Amino acid sequence: MPDLSVVVLTWNSLRHIDLCVRKTLEDVSRAGCSCEFFVVDNGSTDGTAERVRELAAVHPQIVPIFLESNRGTTVPRNLALRRATGELICVLDSDAYPRPGCLSTLRDVLRDPKTGIAVPRLEYPDGRYQKSVDVFPTLGRKLRRALFLRAMESRESQPPEGPVDYAISAFWMFRHELLETVGLLDEKIFYAPEDVDFCLRVWKAGYTVRYVPRAVAVHDAQEKSRRILPNRLTRLHLAGLVYYFRKHGYVFRPPRQAGRR
């Protein structure tokens, strides 16, 4: 049984996957961990699948899974999560990677049995702070975030280490046993907000989501779903939000959870 299972989802990620794999495996080595490294390709058409095969031939830790079409974020990740055997699981986007020491810091934080998910500070490749944790969304908050995310990042200070309502799924670490309590990602959500839903379920199960800015990761966020002009991802994101609000029974007043309010 490996110490760590890494789960990376690719979709037309040829520009990012080499850096993601290299930097992550380097930090796995620094942490002294054994690992299995799942790469789930979501029907890429830009040569990503071929590159994943090449990487798997070089790195025996890599376990590739190939899908014929884009199945969103929940179904593909769950394919890997069902096969993961590591004591710890790290879920990250293909355009993300850890800075040195990130994984070992998050691992240490997860020694606290009440911590469900540990998440690092995310930054853009140029080092700017990236807003990756937030309070649970309401309809108004989602509209403000979609329209003014860059302005919010420029004026907001980094939150202190501690519990947060949710963290985007660009970089999570949690113990394998969490899945036994909370379950897998909700496959009724195609693309988003599967991360908000999972974090809320973590809180409801009696665990915390902990922001750890001492651990740092880079996320070269593309944010395709936040374009003002409608596109397929925007429509799927809106459908996911409607489902999320119905599932958890609120729209304007966010849920309360232990330790936050």
pLDDT, one tens digit per residue, over 156-176 is 778 999 999 999 999 999 999
Give Cα 164 to chain centroid, integer Å: 15
Domain-located, residue 201: yes
Which is higher by pLDDT, 136 or 148? 136
Structural domain includes residue 211: yes
Name which residue leads in pLDDT, 190 or 254: 190
Residue 156's pLDDT is 76
Number of structural domains in the chain: 1
Residue 112 forms part of a structural domain: yes
Q: Give the chain's mean pLDDT.
A: 92
Give the pLDDT band of residue 257 (cuts 50, 70, 90): low
C-alpha pair distances (Å), 133 with each of 40, 157, 199: 25, 12, 11
Say which residues have a Cβ less than 8 Å from residue 210's Cβ, sequence separation at least 6. Answer: 109, 112, 115, 117, 118, 119, 161, 162, 163, 164
Using CA atoms, how far apart are residues 122 and 108, in angstroms rounded to an integer?
A: 18
Question: What confidence tier does 229 reach under pLDDT thresholds 50, 70, 90?
Answer: very low
Nearest Cα residue to 88 out of 160, 4, 153: 4
Total Cβ atoms within 10 A of residue 65: 16
pLDDT of 27 over the 90 cut: yes
- At 261, is the pLDDT very low, low, confident or very high (cuts 50, 70, 90)? very low
* Residue 261 counted as domain residue: no
In a domain, 254, yes or no: no
Residue 257 resides in a domain: no
Domain of residue 67, CATH code: 3.90.550.10
- 194 in any annotated domain: yes
The model's pLDDT over 202-214, given as tens digits with 9 standing for 90+, comes to 999 999 999 999 9
For residue 255, tell me if it sits in a domain. no
Q: How far apart are CA 189 and CA 99, in angstroms?
A: 30
pTM metric for this prediction? 0.91
- pLDDT value at 199 more than 60: yes
Tell me the mean pLDDT in the region 39-45: 98
Domain range enclosing 226: 4-248
